Chains A and B, each alone.
Chain A
Amino acid sequence: MTPDMVTELLRNLYSASGGSVPPTAVASAIAGLMWNEQWQSAWDSAGSAAESVLARGGSSEDVSEAFNNAFADSLGWTRGDFDRFLDENNFTRDNARNYQEGVDLWEWMAKRR
């Protein structure tokens, strides 16, 4: 199959509109609308897991736990791997408490939405 034949094939495939609009526009419109299905993935699984725990009335610790589990899972880590990662980067429990002081805009937003 020569490049010209491939081009002709694509041209025919994309000419569903009968020539009233540029041929590629048909495929592009379909593709754009199909991609709409993917917009939900803007929120990653770890963030979604944390948000759903908060929506069910979970505590800050529950929310962090849900996030951490989904986070470790996404990276292909076991619980042991994740604990080692936390230790080596000084993400200790004390450190985590320091992180949770004061106003938390994310919690506030997740509860408001």
Chain B
Amino acid sequence: MSPMRETIRIAALGLIAGSLLVMLYHAPVPVVRELQFVAMVLLATVTTRSLASLSGLSTLALGMGAVVFLVVGAGALLTAAGLDTTSGFTNWGLVPFAEEALKLAPVALVMMVQRRRNRRSINPSDLLMLGCCAGAGFALVENVALVQGSAGVARDMARQYGPNLAGFSLVPGAWGSAGYIGHAAATGFIAGGYGLGRALQPRLGTRWWIVPAACSAWILIEHAFVNLYVNSGSSFALIFGNGRLTPWLFVALALAIVTLDAVRYRWTLARSGMLRWRVSLARAAMLRTKPPVPRSRVTAARMYLSQVRVVNATGWFAHRHPPQKVETV
């Protein structure tokens, strides 16, 4: 890597770390929760993604930064148009739509960059990871601002709901009485839904778009009901069970995506001697204990994971552009 790139990399890492430390200082609980969720998603998709975790980190930073600018800008535009963003239809109808749409901007940016630089699209696990990271970035900024603005919010955050393992919440952004799954899982649900729709395209045909449309509609309605409930206390906003089902749906969607991508990984390896060879080499080098051992164990592990990502990228490419006489998963 050139010295200039190395400097940029260190400067970018420093800025992200600085931003997180400032937020951690002001509101440790929501910051730790969001980072825990991001870590969990990165770990769950580590063998099924075609993108490195660093892309997730970049998307998280864009969620904390660019998305916040966009949402504030959209709010300013609505206000300039004479609309009141704090109440009425603008608050429960337009604001959720703007937020949910703008949170997808970093995901769209990564998709665009990948298409331009590598001429390939990203797989459903990538989309799930990027969506969760972009949403988590926005959630970090919003939740820190909420905690700083009102002590009552911190108490509300203690009331978590949804699936958990031994008291460890799988969707930590789902908290309080309002019933919103949290920005991270919400954006992950929409982006992951798009990925799942694409993955099911060979079976669903031209109807594949129903999956992402249903996921988006579910999140938009939930977000709209939450804003309606918070601002008016209307019991009508509770007709969908106050959002208690959504974290379970998110976990089910994530499991489906990871399972489909894992099956495609095996399918791809079975159809590429070159990739089997590379993955076997990298795995053997990573686990080697007698000389010659790798100069750096971390480099060997990264080499192995990069080969896994190439397998996933190849599998998804073959899924999108099937070679003749080869069935896709």
Q: Please classify how large the interface on chain B is, using the bins under 10, 10 to 19, 20 to 34, 35 or more.
A: 35 or more
Contact status A39-B271, CB under 8 Å: no
| B321 contacts partner chain A, Cβ-Cβ < 8 Å | yes
Q: How many A residues, CB 8 Å from partner?
A: 66
**Would A85 and B54 be within 8 Å (CB), given that A22-B141, A38-B9, A105-B315 are in contact?**
no
| B200 contacts partner chain A, Cβ-Cβ < 8 Å | no
Tell me the dominant secondary structure on chain A's binding face: helix
Can you spell out 21 A-B residue pairs with CB atoms less than 8 angstroms apart?
A14-B22, A22-B68, A24-B19, A24-B65, A25-B64, A28-B16, A29-B69, A31-B12, A31-B13, A31-B61, A32-B63, A32-B66, A34-B11, A37-B9, A42-B52, A42-B118, A85-B285, A99-B277, A102-B273, A108-B323, A109-B314
Give B residues with C-beta under 8 Å from A: 1, 5, 8-9, 11-13, 15-16, 18-19, 21-23, 25, 50-52, 54-55, 57-66, 68-69, 72, 106, 109-110, 113-114, 117-120, 137, 141, 144-145, 268, 271-278, 280-282, 284-285, 288, 290, 292, 294-296, 299-300, 302-303, 306-307, 309-310, 313-315, 317-318, 321, 323, 326
The B-contacting residues of A in range 1-33, CB under 8 angstroms, are 7, 10-11, 13-14, 17, 20-33
Which residues of the other chain, A, contact B273 by a CB distance below 8 angstroms? 98-102, 104
Which residues of the other chain, B, contact A47 by a CB distance below 8 angstroms? 278, 306-307, 310
Contact status B285-A75, CB under 8 Å: yes
Point out which of B1, B61, B68, B326 has the most chain A C-beta atoms below 10 A from its C-beta. Answer: B61
Which residues of the other chain, B, contact A43 by a CB distance below 8 angstroms? 118, 306, 310
| A41 contacts partner chain B, Cβ-Cβ < 8 Å | yes
